């Protein structure tokens, strides 16, 4: 399972910005990733309140990818291959 990188991040709780809907969140502590989890359906993680709240109460900026197809391909990629062509 892919875990977000906590190197060079201050200790704290973060939303996984590579996943949509702000449901997934994790804790950085001592440059290590802990407690990678998701909110229940219909909830989003609020960094401000440090907990999952009803989705309509949390402003979600989405993920880093504006193209949903690109995001879908990257999120399911496990291996990269170099073509000889």
Q: What is the mean pLDDT, run by run of 10 residues, along the chain of 85 residues?
A: 85 89 94 94 94 94 51 46 55
Q: Is residue 2 in some structural domain?
A: no
Does residue 3 fall inside a structural domain?
A: no
pLDDT for 82 equals 54
Name the nearest CA neighbour of 44 among 20, 27, 64.
Answer: 20
In a domain, 71, yes or no: yes
**Residue 3: per-residue pLDDT:** 78
User: Can you give the pTM of this predicted structure?
Assistant: 0.66
C-alpha to C-alpha distance for 22 and 41, rounded to whole angstroms: 11
Q: How many domains does the chain have?
A: 1
């Amino acid at each position: 399972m892919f875990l977000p990188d906590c190197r060079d991040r201050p200790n704290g709780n973060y939303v996984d910005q590579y996943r949509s809907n702000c449901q997934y969140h994790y804790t950085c502590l001592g440059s290590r990733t802990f407690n990678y989890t998701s909110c229940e359906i219909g909830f989003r993680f609020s960094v401000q309140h440090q907990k999952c709240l009803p989705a309509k109460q949390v402003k979600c900026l989405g993920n880093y990818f504006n193209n949903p197809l690109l995001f879908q391909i990257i999120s399911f990629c496990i291996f990269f291959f170099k073509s000889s062509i």
